[in-house]
A and B are shown apart, each in its own frame.
Chain A
Amino acid sequence: MKTCLTILYLIKVYKHINKLFLIAFVLTMLFTLSSPNLFAQDKQHRKCGTMDVHYRLMKTDSQYVKNRIDIENFTTLYTNQVEALGAAGLRSGIVIIPAVVHVVYNTATENISDAQIHSQIDVLNEDYRRLNSDISTVPTAFQPFTADARIEFQLAVRDPDCNSTNGITRTNTTVTSFTSNDAVKYSSSDGHDAWPRDKYLNIWVCNLSGSLMGYAQFPGGSAATDGVVIDYTYFGTIGTVSSPFHLGRTTVHEIGHWLNLNHIWGDDGTACTGTDNVDDTPNQSGYNTGCPSFPHVSCSNGPDGDMFMNYMDYVDDNCMVMFSQGQSTRMDATLYGNRSDVVASDGLIPPTSTAAADIWSQDMADDVGDEPNTISAHMWKTDDIWVRKQNDGLTNQEHQNPEYQAPGFGSNYVYVRVRNKDCSLAGSGTMKLYWAKASSGLSWPAPWDGSVLTPLMGDIIGTQTTGSVASGGFTILEFPWNPPNPDDYLSFGADKSHFCLLSRIETSGTPPYGMTFPEGTNLHDNVRNNNNIIWKNITVVDEEADGSRMAWGTVGNMMEQAVPVKLFFSIPKEKGEESIFEWGRVIVNLGEELYNKWLEGGSDGNKIKELGERRIEILKSEAWIGNMTFEPKELHNISIRFEPYQDRPIRNIVFKFDLVQQTDEDLTMGGLTFVIKSLSDVSQPIEPVQPSFWLCYLILIIVIIIFVVIIIYILRRKS
């Protein structure tokens, strides 16, 4: 109304102006009023949400600013590389992060129980592994974006001084309530000092003042304050908690920040211009609260609206149920970047009772270095060996299948992590790294020692001294390696490119070379008995054009005597591993010779279905075929086809499938593991363009066109 009056007033004042000027003036006013943001000071310009943090902290901590920029640059680089790989970019290993909970209490009620703390750890291990039962509440539209972050948490069993611990500290404080000023993180202010962040996730539980439920520190900040702080009434699922924040999701949210996740609304107030630096979460206005009904549309992000059920929104505990795949990738960048040390922490390794350097490598994520390893299921699945097609294995530890390169055309790189269990003494040793033509029937020392020729079935890749490995620390050795030419292995058919790796660390130059248990011919036993021998026989199976996966493997006998053979087909029993049988069919082609051998043995087997043409279908885990005998050096190639169901789960999943070769029910000779990565077949939601801007620009263009046309028209009439 005010604008209209202004226009009329000016028209009156300037009524002596000729018609051309009047028309021009009106059009100019229209132009002015249609211009976006001229007077609308409440409109904000596009700005990155995390830049707010940078600018704010730049005034107080220039090193933090530099760290944050470096971390964000690395994250962008990593994310771009991984997303370009599609499903192959998914991380397949499990990371277990040691956690310490510092309970800082003023009243007895604030001194929460061990059981309450354990209930929180349980929640973390469900939510970060997509094992939470309420994941089913994710609307159909967002189900393809849910992620298994493949991160787990355990309370530390070794403290920074190498004593045993239950991963919980308790401090009686005189402070009645803490604020977000980090006082709870210092003993000097009646809190508790942080444990080293390169080995532990610090979680402080205390009474926070006001309505503050928790806060976190992003990667890149001070070591003394690194971790998350949670109010004692929002920690865990029992005891002092109460609805609607009673399901432990506050800690899930804060640890998301600790792993470099941003709020899903982009931390820009409600401007729709910020970003959470993740592509597969829709643009969203401010934070959501309570439990909105789906869809909840903002920032023109319809029809599906906000991903308010994401852990990084502000909804109630029973409403936040998922991380997105993009968020999972961003957390991976943190685990391979700024927080890479905590991935191989000794916080989960019980302190050693003897003061002696103990160089070792981990067989599986649950291995604590015992000799023999009675915890891990299989011995050929180490994550402490990984192959990269380029020398980037320090910043991306995801295993890739090695690829043959013609001489002079590059190299693969093998990385091996070496750890030291001891509490005080540095250790060292000599690492010998070997390759072998892969099969489930490998033995020791042949073929690793180069003694099996025509074709060469194995050899040493290289020898390196580990250097001094600090007590409780680790080091990573890099070996350039070009696998043998697959054309030398045509008799292996399609499995000609499949090789496996073995690392042995010798701490003595004479037999048994520092091994606790002298090595025998059974390689699987050698690896289980000695914590300084690790073995990897894992193949990442590429996706075919029709969505299926085809894998090849070799079974056989590399020993000097005939052995009875039983082949097991199974999915790993580790927690959280999804069943390939829900995703599709598994069909094994035994090949003519092996199939006939199996028929001669009476077609002995279980949980299988014979399909004809030398094929069997694996119906369930722990299926097997048996009653066969392999002569010395007898090898057979088999193929395994993974055929997805049409109605398979539309989620991002890493499946694993084991082929295990046994001589009888109890003695495992070896095996190989296939990794099948499946990415949801959906396009990522596109950040919607705000139509209001387009509308403004459209009006501008129309006004300008009309303006020009009128001028031309009048000029022509006058001339």
Chain B
Amino acid sequence: MMKRYSTYLLGIILLYIITLAFLFCTFKHEQIELPTVIFKHWVHSYEHDTDTCYIYRPHDYPFPRSRGRRGFDIKENGEFVLYRIAPNDGLNSFSGRWKLKGVDTVIVGFKAEEINSFSFRIISCEEDILIIKK
């Protein structure tokens, strides 16, 4: 009885590992490239956010005055620089790497301990506006 029970459990664990591997493989094979217009320094244009989307503009856009705006610089070579509001105001920058997940989701990872990886989904991207799903 115990032997049969152990066999079942072993089978479950095996299937579990196979499933994980299958999912990872599937994601990798579906990767495609981002449009080239996205590779620049984007700054949060929060005044234009909607209930479901964040709006970003190029960093040289004539933004209204603001206490601070987060942003990021995404580069074609895989580099990613996150600009986050610093605890004492101003901006902190964090260097990381990005990769595509699926057709529209960007995963960003950082080597530094002080910031965790995250992802965001792109709704649309043009020369002067980037729309990201909230």
- Chain A interface residues toward B at CB < 8 A: 2-3, 6, 10, 14, 17, 20-21, 24-25, 28-29, 32, 39, 41-42, 44-45, 47, 49-53, 55-56, 180, 211-218, 244-245, 250, 253-254, 257, 262-263, 267, 269, 287, 289-290, 314, 711, 715, 719
Contacts and interface: CB of A to CB of B under 8 A. Distances in A.
A10 B12 contact: no
B89 A257 contact: yes
Nearest to A271: B116
Interface of B: 1, 4-5, 8, 11-12, 15-16, 18-20, 22-23, 26, 46-47, 63, 65-70, 84-92, 107, 109, 112-120
Contact of A215 (B5, B65, B89): B89
A6 B19 contact: yes
Given A25-B15, A28-B12, A217-B88, A715 B5 contact: yes
A263 B87 contact: yes
A42 B88 contact: no
A54 to B, nearest CB: 8
Contact of B85 (A53, A216, A263, A711): A263
A711 B8 contact: yes
Contacts of A314: 66-68, 85
Contacts of B109: 41
B11 A21 contact: yes
Contacts of B4: 715
User: Looking at B20, B68, B88, which has the most chain A CB atoms within 10 Å of its CB?
Assistant: B88
A53 B118 CA distance: 19
A6 B67 contact: no
B85 A25 contact: no
A56 B114 contact: yes
A56 B92 contact: yes
B89 A6 contact: no
DSSP class of B's interface residues: helix, strand, loop or mixed? mixed
24 contacts: A6-B22, A21-B12, A42-B107, A42-B119, A51-B114, A52-B87, A52-B92, A55-B113, A211-B66, A212-B68, A213-B66, A213-B68, A214-B89, A215-B86, A215-B88, A215-B89, A216-B88, A267-B85, A267-B87, A269-B84, A269-B118, A715-B1, A715-B4, A715-B5
Contact of B118 (A25, A41, A245): A41
User: Looking at B66, B67, B114, B116, which has the most chain A CB atoms within 10 Å of its CB?
Assistant: B67
Contact of A290 (B18, B47, B118): B47
Contacts of A218: 87-88
A254 B63 CA distance: 22
B12 A45 contact: no
B89 A216 contact: yes
Nearest to A276: B87
Contacts of B92: 52, 56
9 A-B pairs with least C-beta separation: A55-B114, A180-B90, A42-B119, A215-B89, A42-B118, A215-B90, A314-B67, A44-B116, A267-B87
Given A28-B15, A211-B65, A719-B1, A20 B88 contact: no
User: Looking at A2, A6, A21, A211, which has the most chain B CB atoms within 10 Å of its CB?
Assistant: A211
Given A56-B114, A211-B65, 17 more contacts: A20-B8, A21-B12, A24-B15, A25-B12, A41-B109, A47-B116, A49-B87, A50-B87, A55-B113, A180-B90, A212-B68, A250-B67, A267-B85, A267-B86, A269-B84, A314-B67, A314-B85
